[in-house]
Amino acid sequence: MMGWLPLLLVLLPAQVRAESSTFTVGGYIQTVLDASPEVQKAAADFAAARAAWKGQTASAWLPTVGLTGTAYPYGHDPAEGYRFQHWGLARADTSLAASASLNLFNGFADYYKVRQTALSRDTAEASLSGSRQARAFAAAQAFYDLGLKARLIEVAAENLKIQKDNHELTLDHYRNGMKSLADLLKSETDWHSSGLNVARAEAERRQALLEFNLLAGRPADEPAALAAELDPGTTTLPSLAADVAAALARRPEMASARLALEAGETAVKQALRDGLPQLSANASWSRTDNGSNIGNPAVNPNYQVGLSLSLPLGFNAATQVFSVSAARARSAAARQSLAAATRQVRSEVHSAFIALESALDTYRIASLKEDIARRSFELVNEQYRQNSADVIRLAQAQLDYLNARTERARALFGALLSRYQYRLAIGEPLWK
């Protein structure tokens, strides 16, 4: 008769005996982000894109400086009138040159290159934000799933104790001739069924703990205590119209779609530019110092500003036409992708709003139901103790109370997660 008590003592101490870290949902989300390879990869991609943008900007706007030293220690030395040298190195065999050049204008080619790398940088940043959002929501799911499973363990354990007490009461009544053998067997069956519920609940809790720990980079079976959240917070619903507008402005998917469209439009401008006459201007300075003074320019140092104008002719024109057509097609595709993303975001925000509203209503009703089921069980249980209610009625009241407590627990954690789902839908950073 006492077989389930040792099982309960084995199943529950993982939360009671072991020293475990206590997590809040915000702290756990940050832990998951710090341990996430997906987030780290996105951060590395963003760092690479930012470095590429800085490099392209420097290449476009900074001068190019060169220093060159040349010597001919063996052979016919052009600096000495091609006189043959036998492994000698003298000052006369050495020449030094310094040069600097600055691109003043090249038909906006550098501007478009810098713009494209800036767009790539911003796209990588949006991808990083999206990766953080996805991992943060996965963390919230794991956190509340573990919290729910831990709560269901408590409910199952309390129900097991109630069933055990009722069985002992039924046994006492049976010995005193107040209950039948059928009543006794029914109470014992319900007791053992409650023990099975505890075992199943513990298995589900361990699976949830596994997912919880793996996301955070912790040992798979390391215990974790969660800060209690006893209610879903305010029942006031947010402003849907304002949140739809906010989602369209700050969702990472929308940012990526807008950047893709801008990149497509920039590519069209580049293609058009490549088909037009190209005007460029540059400034240069150089100085050459030969040890023998042979081959030095008449003016040393020398500097100049150069202009050039080029016009693509021949079959290259057809290539440029097709390049412009391809760029325009890609830009049109990006525009349609932006429209599709806008529609998808609107749909997700409305769906998340409906889910949040439903979750809050469900929690409110489940709380009322639990209170009614508790009062009903207490009444029937007292009647059973007075032998004015049969075991079937008691079992039904116990089942109703167990189901009501389970539904309330699921409704609570469902409402908590629905808030994160809504925040995800409107683009609010989940890690802040």
CA dihedral 201, 203, 151, 157 (to 10 degrees): 50
Does the pLDDT at position 5 exceed 80? no
The first and second tokens of residue 335, run together, are 């525009």
- The backbone region for 107, taken as left when phi is positive above 0, alpha when psi lies in -120 to 50, beta otherwise, is left
Does the pLDDT at position 22 exceed 70? yes
Closest by CA to 139, choosing from 65, 243, 218, is 218
Domain boundaries, the chain: 4-9+24-64+109-280+315-425
DSSP characters over 375-399: HHHHHHHHHHHTT-S-HHHHHHHHH
pLDDT tens for 39-79 read: 999 999 999 999 999 999 998 888 989 888 877 777 776 66
Cα 20 → chain centroid: 26
Q: What is the pLDDT of residue 102?
A: 87
3-state secondary structure 43-63: HHHHHHHHHHHHHHHHHHHCC
What is the C-alpha to C-alpha distance for residues 112 and 138, in angstroms, rounded to an integer?
39
Share in percent of the chain as helix, strand, coil (round to 5): 70, 10, 20
Q: Which amino acid is at 209?
A: L
pLDDT band at 426; cut points 50, 70, 90? very high
Strands (DSSP E) contained in 24-93 are: 64-71, 75-77, 83-85
CA dihedral 256, 257, 258, 260 (to 10 degrees): 80
Percentage of the chain lying above the pLDDT 90 cut: 60
> Domain 4-9+24-64+109-280+315-425 has what CATH class?
mainly alpha
State the residue for tokens 């969702």: 251
Closest by CA to 289, choosing from 97, 65, 99, is 97
State the residue for tokens 């077989």: 3
Query: N- to C-terminal Cα distance for the chain?
Result: 52
Cα 205 → chain centroid: 25
